[in-house]
């Protein structure tokens, strides 16, 4: 019997899942100036007479818990109903049904829970869900009032609604001071869409480069929704790429090792025979002198930017990354801009030779990897089949790795 009846705790958990799943859409509706359309209906599966008599104390306790929950649900939603009745039209609460049982007489039993509206659902779900939803709803409304209502640009409400939907989690998590600063920054950027200023120059208290780095996604989502632009109009710092020129004849001004923006590297008039692209900086620094060779630190997802450097595109490019999902993902992105790039030490033979040095990969990198060769694709599948493992390039003995790299440098 106990397994058939829906408990108050189970119903609250169901409501909490609905809030977690739906509140981004509810907030987006508020940003549009609309009321969220939300309803939860749950059949409570009351016991039969035989089930109730089999364990009368459980049945009485269950009905009593729902009586208390019903009163709370009606209070949260502002609905009214006769004691033991059904919620009024548009209200929330429990529908009670009279059952006439020969052994115990007429009984009112809770039959169905009905919750109308986001506030009622979140309120029933519990204090945490109610607190998060109220904060999100208030902030979605503030965003609308501050930007959509004040702007005459066509489509801004739809754009802001999309931004609120995308950034709903951040809007909940921001402290009040952070949220206020976010709105001030967005407002300034909207009023100065092509300022050309650096972040350090923004006349907003408490703003620095690290602040924008932490909050950039939310700032961009909201500001670009209002302006309809594609950038924040700020002067952006150019990230640098580390390069070592292993051949003395290729060194610009005799410099062996430098870090420079891609646009500056693109101006170099050199013609290396081979360009190594390594994921690990220590490997870049360990490379010995080598005729006709340059090594680039293509860490993380810097690799796609290398396609903007003419002398890299004209060279034979050899990539070596970790034997894991990230390494193959970077290889794929490199081949988008350098289709003929080849990989080394990212094959099944390497995995077999050093399997004892592999560890479990905590998180698999998302994204497409369509530009792998068939052997590379098989190796990537092996990593999964072996339990989601990864073999970092630093763990491969240097003597072995260097022999493979030297062979690759001369085209073997």
Q: 252-272: b or e for each residue (b if 16 or more CB lie within 10 Å)? A: eeeeeebebebeebeebebeb
Looking at the structure, do residues 172 and 102 belong to the same domain, yes or no? no
Confidence of residue 344 (pLDDT cuts 50, 70, 90): very high
DSSP string, 360-405: E-SSPPPS--TT--HHHHHHHHHHHHTTSEEB-GGGS-HHHHHHHH
pLDDT tens-digit readout, 148-174: 887 767 789 999 999 999 999 999 999
Q: Give the model's pLDDT for residue 356.
A: 93
β-pair type (316-320, 342-343): parallel
Smallest CA-to-CA distance from 94 within 68, 118, 119 is with 68
Cβ count near 109 (within 10 Å): 20
Q: Give the model's pLDDT for residue 162.
A: 93
Number of domains in the chain: 3
Looking at the structure, do residues 96 and 142 belong to the same domain, yes or no? no
Q: CA 152 to CA 409: how far, in whole Å?
A: 61
Looking at the structure, do residues 177 and 254 belong to the same domain, yes or no? no
Looking at the structure, do residues 273 and 401 belong to the same domain, yes or no? yes
Residue where one domain finishes, among candidates 85, 101, 127:
127
Q: CA 120 to CA 87: how far, in whole Å?
A: 13
Looking at the structure, do residues 83 and 96 belong to the same domain, yes or no? yes
Return phi, psi of residue 172, to 5°: -75, -40
Q: Give the model's pLDDT for residue 76.
A: 55
154 against 31, higher pLDDT: 31
Q: Can you tell me the mean pLDDT for 397-406?
A: 96
Q: Is residue 51 assigned to a domain?
A: yes
Q: 2-18: b or e for each residue (b if 16 or more CB lie within 10 Å)? A: eeebbebeebeebbbeb
Q: Is residue 326 assigned to a domain?
A: yes
DSSP string, 190-217: HH-TT----GGG--STT--HHHHHHHHH
Do 207 and 186 touch, CB atoms closer than 8 A?
no
pTM, entire model: 0.60
What's the chain's average pLDDT? 89
Q: Is residue 42 assigned to a domain?
A: yes
Looking at the structure, do residues 307 and 323 belong to the same domain, yes or no? yes
Q: Is residue 1 assigned to a domain?
A: no
Residue where one domain finishes, among candidates 193, 227, 261:
227
Which residue range forms the structural domain that includes residue 296? 240-409
pLDDT tens-digit readout, 37-53: 999 999 998 888 888 88
Q: Is residue 233 assigned to a domain?
A: no
Looking at the structure, do residues 283 and 177 belong to the same domain, yes or no? no
Q: Give the model's pLDDT for residue 1.
A: 42
What percent of the chain is modeled with pLDDT above 90? 65
Looking at the structure, do residues 380 and 272 belong to the same domain, yes or no? yes
Looking at the structure, do residues 25 and 101 belong to the same domain, yes or no? yes
Q: Is residue 2 assigned to a domain?
A: no
Return phi, psi of residue 199, to 5°: -60, -35
Looking at the structure, do residues 377 and 307 belong to the same domain, yes or no? yes
Total length of the chain: 412
Residue where one domain finishes, among candidates 203, 227, 251:
227
Structure tokens at 343: 């990989």
pLDDT tens-digit readout, 282-327: 999 999 999 999 999 986 557 888 998 999 999 999 999 999 988 9
Looking at the structure, do residues 60 and 200 belong to the same domain, yes or no? no
Helix (H) or strand (E) holding 59: helix 56-77
Q: Is residue 158 assigned to a domain?
A: yes
Looking at the structure, do residues 83 and 209 belong to the same domain, yes or no? no
Q: Is residue 49 assigned to a domain?
A: yes
Asked which of 89-93, 118-122, 228-232, 250-254 is least confident by mean pLDDT, the reply is 89-93
Cβ count near 64 (within 10 Å): 11
């Amino acid at each position: 019997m106990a397994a058939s009846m829906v408990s108050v705790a189970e119903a609250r958990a169901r409501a909490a899942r609905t809030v977690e799943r739906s509140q981004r859409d509810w907030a987006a509706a508020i940003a549009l100036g609309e009321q969220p359309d939300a309803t939860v209906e749950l059949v409570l599966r009351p016991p039969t007479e035989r089930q109730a008599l089999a364990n009368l104390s459980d049945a009485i306790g269950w009905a009593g818990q729902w009586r208390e929950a019903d009163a709370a649900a009606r209070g949260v939603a502002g609905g009214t109903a006769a004691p033991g009745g059904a919620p009024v039209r548009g209200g929330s609460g429990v529908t009670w049904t009279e059952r006439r049982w020969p052994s115990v007489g007429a009984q009112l039993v809770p039959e169905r829970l009905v919750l109308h509206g986001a506030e009622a659902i979140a309120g029933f779900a519990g204090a945490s869900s109610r607190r998060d939803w109220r904060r999100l709803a208030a902030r979605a409304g503030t965003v609308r009032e501050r930007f959509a209502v004040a702007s005459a640009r066509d489509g801004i409400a739809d754009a802001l609604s999309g931004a609120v939907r995308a950034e709903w989690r951040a809007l909940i998590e921001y402290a009040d001071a952070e949220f206020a600063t976010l709105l001030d920054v967005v407002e300034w950027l909207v009023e100065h869409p092509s300022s050309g200023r650096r972040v350090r120059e923004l006349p907003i208290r408490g703003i620095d480069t690290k602040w924008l780095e932490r909050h950039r996604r939310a700032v961009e989502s909201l500001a670009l929704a209002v302006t309809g632009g594609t950038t924040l109009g700020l002067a952006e710092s150019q990230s640098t790429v580390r390069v070592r020129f292993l051949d003395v004849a290729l060194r610009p001004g005799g410099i062996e090792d430098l870090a420079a923006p891609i646009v500056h590297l693109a101006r170099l008039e050199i013609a290396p025979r081979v360009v190594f692209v390594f994921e690990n900086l220590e490997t870049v620094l360990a490379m010995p002198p080598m005729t006709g060779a340059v090594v680039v630190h293509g860490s993380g997802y810097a690799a796609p930017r290398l396609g903007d450097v003419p002398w890299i595109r004209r060279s034979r490019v050899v990539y070596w990354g970790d034997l894991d999902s990230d390494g193959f993902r970077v290889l794929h992105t490199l081949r988008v801009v350098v289709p003929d790039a080849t990989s080394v030490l990212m094959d099944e033979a390497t995995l077999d030779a050093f399997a004892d040095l592999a560890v479990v990969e905590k998180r698999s990198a998302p994204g497409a990897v369509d530009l792998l060769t068939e052997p590379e694709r098989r190796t990537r599948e092996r990593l999964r089949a072996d339990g989601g493992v990864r073999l970092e390039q630093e763990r491969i003995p240097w003597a072995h790795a260097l022999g493979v790299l030297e062979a690759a440098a001369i085209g073997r």
